[in-house]
Structure 1
Amino acid sequence: MTDRLPLFPLNSVLYPGLVLPLNIFEERYRRLVRDLLALPEGERRFGVVALRSGREVGELPVAAIDAVFPLGCTAEVATMRPHADGRYDVVATGATRFRLVSVDDSGPYLVGKVEFLEEPKGDDAAVLTLAVTRAFTEYQRELVGAQGRGPMELPELPDDPVVLSYLVAAAMVLDLSDKQNLLVLDDATLRLRAELSLLRRETALLGHIRALPAVELLRQKAGPN
């Protein structure tokens, strides 16, 4: 099934089920919001795609189809609050993954022809859900400790493997490429398996950082990544 969606390129990745607050100030996206306001409430949605290169503001440095990643997520608008100076505060929620078939850059903002994707659980989702829940809990404890915060009560995690996979993907501190790679994976089993590996890696790194005296941290050479 294909559809046409107005596109909002961002320097971040949106996942299904996650809340997206936006402050709209650039004229092309003000126009996008005004066009959404003209639609019935249940039809107000746009597509979020992560930028490969360039910035959220200003002209893209290369052709639109090359400037953004080809797989994104729809954002369903919950609220749109206008300001006297023409800006808008928008709150939307990630809903459905899509793959870009083509991009039309002839109008005031990008419009994509998109193909919507299914959300299968995969074969080993139940087992991986338990493993990822344990690993994510340990990761959160290490992250809180590395940030110098005291003990805190951790939130209860969902049992649904698809929901869990996106919550963990959104909550982990990762670079954009890792975030996008998690969005691309075909089912929850593949995503949870990748997250388990990432959680173990990041937890070990956080533990190493916490174990180093402050003087040793200052001696560490910066890596290329």
Structure 2
Amino acid sequence: MSQLLPVFPLPNLILYPGSLVPLHLFEPRYRKMMEDMLAADQSELIAGTLLPGWEEDYFESPALFPVAGVGKIQQVRQDEAGNFNLILCGMHRMQIVSEPERDDTVTPYRKVMVEKLEEEEVASAEALDEAEGLLLALQALAGSSANHAVGKTINYLADVLLVQLPLGMQEKLDLFAVVDARARARAVLKAWADLQRGELPPPAASGPGFSPDRN
């Protein structure tokens, strides 16, 4: 079933299920988005990823990657300047199916029609080889701080490793879009092995860095 949800687009964010992401909203259009969401008692928000070339029309509607994470707002606070600070908790993957036209004078922020991508949860005990490989890779990257991931699902482990790998954003997004958890885990582990062997090129530059005056 399709849903129409507001979208907060960024060029370097992947919101995976179980992740907690702090966001600071200060552009007028996104402040209006939060005001509308609070007034409607709405707590779900799409974290869209902007595709390369977004800088050219950032203030319009630059292209979004068609698979995105939907998050539930866990905390929200408005400061004295009217800006919003919030914590977004990733819930599941969504397919962006369309973006309706809007009246900027009424809704200056973007909304998208999305459909949930059903994903079966795979316990670590059901995929021991993948679980061991993912945990070893996480420990190599993060040391003892990776111990919190012991016992987590393959779905979660693959996503955590994916976002930490030094890959280009497009490569990360392509892996994020793999809905089958086992297949995603194997693909992420292959990318990790290729990096270890030096078989992957360094991440391609995606243009100017994300400007701090945009959110």
| TM tier, smaller | 0.7 to 0.9
Following TM superposition, the consecutive aligned residue runs of length 4 or more in structure 1 with deviations greater than 6 angstroms are none
Q: CA deviation at 1:68?
A: 0.6
Q: Is the 8 A contact 1:47 1:75 kept in 2?
A: yes
User: Which amino acid is the alignment partner of residue 48 of structure 1?
Assistant: A
Determine the structure 2 residue equivalent to 1:97: 93
In structure 2, runs of 5+ residues without a counterpart are: 205-215
- Give the equivalent residue in structure 2 for 1:67: 63
Classify 1:56/1:5 alpha carbon distance in 2 versus 1 (closer, same or farther; 3 Å). farther
Distance in 2, matches of 1:88 and 1:132, equals: 38
**Alignment correspondent of 1:33:** 34
Query: 1:205 maps to what in 2?
Result: 198
Shift of the 156–22 alpha-carbon distance from structure 1 to 2, 3 Å rule, reads: closer
Structure whose alpha-carbon radius of gyration is higher: 1
- Give the alignment's Cα RMSD to 1 decimal: 2.9
Quote the Cα distance in structure 1 between the aligned partners of 2:144 and 2:92: 33
Name the residue aligned to 1:216. none
Q: Distance in 2 between matches of 1:223 and 1:101?
A: 32
Query: 1:19–1:47: structure 2 CA closer, same or farther, 3 Å change rule?
Result: same
Is residue 130–residue 154 contact of structure 2 (8 Å, CA) maintained in 1? no
Residue 110 of structure 2: aligned partner: 110
Deviation at 1:115?
A: 0.9
In 2: Cα distance, 1:93 partner to 1:138 partner: 24
Q: Is the 8 A contact 1:136 1:199 kept in 2?
A: no
Q: In the TM superposition, what is the alpha-carbon distance from 1:186 to its structure 2 partner?
A: 2.3
- The residue that corresponds to 1:20 in the other structure is 21
Alignment equivalent of 1:191, drawn from 184, 191, 202: 184
Q: Distance in 1 between matches of 2:120 and 2:33?
A: 32
C-alpha distance in 2 between matches for 1:76 and 1:153:
25
CA deviation string 1:114-143 (max 9, x = no partner): 111101257x9933x5335335524642x4
Please state whether the residue corresponding to 1:13 is helix, strand or coil: coil
5+ long unaligned stretches in structure 1: 145-150, 207-221
SS at 2:71's partner residue? strand
Deviates more, 1:9-18 or 1:163-172: 163-172
Q: Do the aligned partners of residues 110 and 125 (structure 1) sit closer, same or farther apart at CA in structure 2, a change above 3 Å counting? A: farther
Counterpart among 164, 168, 174 of residue 175 in structure 1 = 168
Superposed CA deviations along residues 149-180 of structure 1, whole A, max 9, x for unmatched, are: xx756424234222222222233332211221
- Is the deviation greater in 71-80 or in 100-109? 100-109
Q: TM-score, normalized by length of structure 2?
A: 0.78
Q: Which letter does structure 1 place at the counterpart of 2:112?
A: G
Give yes or no for the alignment of 1:162 onto 2:155. yes
Residue 184 of structure 1 aligns with an amino acid whose one-letter code is: A
Q: Secondary structure, in 3 states, of the residue corresponding to 2:24?
A: strand
Determine if contact 1:9/1:56 at 8 Å carries over to the other structure.
Answer: no
Asked whether the 8 Å contact 1:13–1:176 carries over to 2, the reply is no
Which has the larger helix fraction?
Answer: 1
| Identity between Structure 1 and Structure 2 (%) | 27
Shift of 1:83: 1.0
The 1:181/1:90 distance shift into structure 2, 3 A limit, reads: same
Instruction: State the number of aligned residues.
Output: 195
Distance 1:72 1:125, change over 3 A: farther
Q: Alpha-carbon deviation of 1:77? A: 0.1
